[in-house]
Structure 1
């Protein structure tokens, strides 16, 4: 049954209002970033981006962010897939209790464990390096990843798994050849979420990474704000530099991301 015209119009009006509410601050940041801060030479300029790039050492910070992304996203995806598949398809003893434990892990705030995490990783020699941050972020993201993939695999037809087993396929082949090819939207959505979360992570990097040259772009932006708190144009340019990779990743994977979110909503 098609919705009535008044319902469709109302939906579009609400969506437009949300879009405007989101875009107005963003447009304001863009305009501030390209506005000259020199009173003698008013107008628009892109020099703020060059100056912010040099003063904030974003060439080093972005490399650090990409290194951590390369460590965190693929490894967490693999672990989430294996964990979700094991709990949803292989059904080990106590799988419901294990799934519940991961759900409880979703409620654990970073602020509660970051100090203990620092001392534990420091004792293992994993502070002030990328690997320690990667391990911490993987542990932080994994409960959601396993819960997401568990929900996804639980919604797939059980006949797919049974038919693969009848053909003599091992559990690993059932996963890689039957389930993963039809799970690309869910995997893409999870990968984009992990990328955004790892990119925006501030507290863990601030505590675990003491070297200024090895901090991520987001952590570096925090120190940049403290140093140039009165230069609105420079701060706006630096902010756009930091959020640009996130926007690019979302635009590239937008279709698969929305499809994965929609599938999850329908199954839920």
Structure 2
């Protein structure tokens, strides 16, 4: 009676004589090295993105004489708030800041509401031509603003909305809701049909299903959209520049762009202006960072 032995196949890169513990440690070592490489690359990219903010921060409070003597990379020896105060009072920054908050906040909330209603009709309502409608929405948020500025200019003048915050709010809310509708429709398209059927059997109307079932479950995704819409609107420059020519209605980004030529010869004042424009959006992002990450993680799990 012959006994046949079956040998376990081992990878060609690892000899069979190497103990399993050693092979396991080598695998962990390779994964550890690749993890450190990825971490270093991410850290370098983060430093490159934060470098302009750091330059604006240290030069905004630096006296002009120190900037000329030590250059833009040196830390200030004394804090000088004069450049920031002069810029704040010179452009009436309180009004510009209020305009940006009103426009960005209104656009974020209205665009999120339009996105939810449109996605509810497309994703759950299952209207006819759903694929073609989503294709239209996808095309809408890929069209550059330069291609839309002339018809929007004529339209706002005809409707009496030119040089009004309401006109910019309506236009940006509709434009940004195209992305929100496309994103939410794909989420609601895979919504559990059993939950909706149970709600209908219990006598819930479409409005009740939307408010009591769909809205609570999509709240993290809506929070992500509101955050994105606010930051995108805050940084938007082209449409507010064309549609808001008067100084009383200008946003922060338009005010900074219009004054960049004035402060070209004064780099500390230009740094102060940049810092004043960056800080509000940065603070908003820090406040809603956990909400943003929670929504992204929930979307990834789903």
One fold, TM greater than 0.5? yes
> Is the 2:115–2:181 Cα contact (8 Å) retained in structure 1?
yes
After superposition, residues 158-237 of structure 1 pair within 5 angstroms as 158-237=193-272
Q: Judging changes above 3 Å, is the alpha-carbon distance between structure 1 residues 180 and 202 closer, same or farther for their aligned structure 2 residues?
A: same
> Is the 1:61–1:216 Cα contact (8 Å) retained in structure 2?
yes
In structure 2, distance between residues paired with 1:96 and 1:29: 46
Question: How far off is 1:162 after superposition?
Answer: 2.1
In structure 2, distance between residues paired with 1:36 and 1:183: 50
> Is the 2:176–2:229 Cα contact (8 Å) retained in structure 1?
yes
TM-score of the pair, normalised by structure 2: 0.82
Partner residue in 2 for 1:134: 169
Deviation digits for residues 80-128 of structure 1 (CA, Å, limit 9, x no counterpart): 0000111101101111111111011121110001011101110111101
In structure 2, distance between residues paired with 1:157 and 1:231: 60
**Bigger helix share:** 1
For the residue of structure 2 that corresponds to 1:107, the secondary structure is coil
Partner residue in 1 for 2:22: none
TM-score of the pair, normalised by structure 1: 0.92
Moved more, 185-194 or 39-48: 39-48
Partner residue in 2 for 1:249: 284
- Unaligned 5+ residue runs, structure 2? 1-27, 70-75
> Is the 1:152–1:186 Cα contact (8 Å) retained in structure 2?
no
Task: Quote the RMSD (CA, aligned, Å).
Answer: 2.2
1:112 aligns with 2:124: no
After superposition, residues 1-268 of structure 1 pair within 5 angstroms as 4-38=31-65, 43-265=78-300
In structure 2, distance between residues paired with 1:76 and 1:249: 18
- Unaligned 5+ residue runs, structure 1? none
Based on CA coordinates, which of the two structures has the bigger radius of gyration?
Answer: 2
Count of residue correspondences:
267
